[in-house]
Amino acid sequence: MFDYKRFFFSVLQQRLSEDQLPFVQVLIGPRQVGKSTVIEQIAAAWTGSKITESADQLNPPNREWIAFHWQRALEQPGVCLLTLDEIQKVENWAEVIKKLFDRDRHKNKLRVILSGSASLKLQNGLSESLAGRYELIRCPHWDLDETRKLFGWDVIQYLKFGGYPSAAPYIGDIARWQSIMRDSIIEPVLSRDLQTAVTIQKPALLRQLFALAMHYPAQEISYQKLLGQLQDRGNTATISHYLQVLSGGFLLATLEKYAAHVVRQKASSPKIIPLAPALIHAFSSPELLDSDPEWRGRVFESAIGAHLLRIGEPLFYWRDGEHEVDFVIDNGRQLVGIEVKSGRRKRQQSTIAFKKKFPHAQVIFLDWNTGASFLGSEPTLQNLLHVAQ
């Protein structure tokens, strides 16, 4: 749809140009963020033989489908590019790839790209069967910098609609845009991707939980409170499990409370971080951002949280009684508390209490301007600390 190359295009192109490529390249990320487009762009730029196939079919293919296209690729002249999209839809795909890759890797005949949208099933296959045989390329939602370059959006527009460029042409009709988000982007993840990855006993409860979670961006909320607002019956263990499932579909993340003791972290109420603003406003009016400062602060903080998650460092929130710090990064070398001054009323003593409890920690503040700068920059710890100076 758009003549734009995302950052992982150049990463993938560089790796494929190497004389010896001892790893399968695996693209992993949400639906509708450009994985298939980048594969098409890579294939278009590839000057040798190529075979591009997708397992995203009404009736998913079987394992013989992989072996068939693998053999086709081997029979092509020269080094052949083989791309298999939505590979997790093929049952026992990882075992087949492992067997074929181990058999043929010494021939140096193939450059293999796999992609998938359901991280639960995909990553299970990678860890169980393909360990030491692949490189992972994470393909996140579109960030502020990319939507600014492509659409000319400012921060407010990004906080209303950001994350999914395929729905962007319809933002002039909010009802239509929300319908596209819910029916064409979110529903396939809930009804297809996740239910082929794990057994969902109560699909209606999963849908209700996701819609409800999108009303609590960047908020700490107990499993019991979530359960009390759902129509379908369940229990807190089910709610916890379904939140993990939704995380595996790249829809949200849940942050645990930072504490010195791991058991206390796991026992805490989660803080919900939708992974793209568009997911939030698929269920709430984007115009709330203009009229409700509290809501605007929540969505802004949530966007910061999603961008922090892309850094790849362990991320938490901190609370001690009435004191709270929005985000905490602890990678074992650095401890950084991040307070987002988004316009919401907060207790000014919280960061002092955090610093008192963790004297070696660095505390930084992100206001609207510095937070926007961070959202528009590459998500690295160095960039975070730089914009907060």
What is the pLDDT at residue 156?
Answer: 97
Which of 222-253 are b and which e, b meaning 16 or more Cβ less than 10 Å from the residue's Cβ? Answer: ebeebbeebeeebeeebbebbbebbbbbbbbb
Least confident of 47-51, 121-125, 212-216, 383-387: 121-125
Any idea what the Cα angle at residue 219 is, between residues 300 and 377, rounded to 5°? 30
pLDDT of residue 15 exceeding 90, the answer is yes
**What is the C-alpha separation between 53 and 40, in angstroms, rounded?**
10
Q: What tokens appear for 331 in the block?
A: 């990678």
Q: Provide, rounded to the nearest whole percent, the portion of the chain with pLDDT above 70.
A: 93
Top-confidence residue, 213 or 200? 213
pLDDT of residue 45 exceeding 70, the answer is yes
Mean pLDDT estimate for the chain:
90
What is the pLDDT at residue 139?
Answer: 93
How sure is the predictor about 133, in pLDDT bands with cuts at 50, 70 and 90? confident
pLDDT of residue 151 exceeding 90, the answer is yes
Type of residue numbered 271: K
Q: How many residues are there in the chain?
A: 389
What is the pLDDT at residue 187?
Answer: 95
How sure is the predictor about 131, in pLDDT bands with cuts at 50, 70 and 90? confident
Type of residue numbered 268: S
Mind listing the domains of the chain with CATH numbers? Answer: 7-138 (3.40.50.300), 144-387 (no CATH)
How sure is the predictor about 92, in pLDDT bands with cuts at 50, 70 and 90? confident
What is the pLDDT at residue 2?
Answer: 62
What is the pLDDT at residue 124?
Answer: 67
Average pLDDT value for residue range 288-296: 95
What is the pLDDT at residue 153?
Answer: 97
* Dihedral over Cα of 271, 274, 279, 281: its sign: positive
pLDDT in tens, 217-253: 999 999 899 988 887 777 888 999 999 999 988 999 9
What is the pLDDT at residue 267?
Answer: 61
pLDDT of residue 150 exceeding 80, the answer is yes
What is the pLDDT at residue 19?
Answer: 85
pLDDT of residue 282 exceeding 90, the answer is yes
Average pLDDT value for residue range 295-307: 97
Side-chain-side CA neighbours of 236 within 13 Å: the count stands at 9
pLDDT of residue 344 exceeding 70, the answer is no
pLDDT of residue 319 exceeding 80, the answer is yes
Q: Judge residue 170's burial from the number of C-beta atoms within 10 Å of its C-beta, 0-12 exposed, 13-18 middle, 19 or more buried.
A: middle
What is the pLDDT at residue 216?
Answer: 97
Average pLDDT value for residue range 376-387: 95
pLDDT of residue 54 exceeding 80, the answer is yes
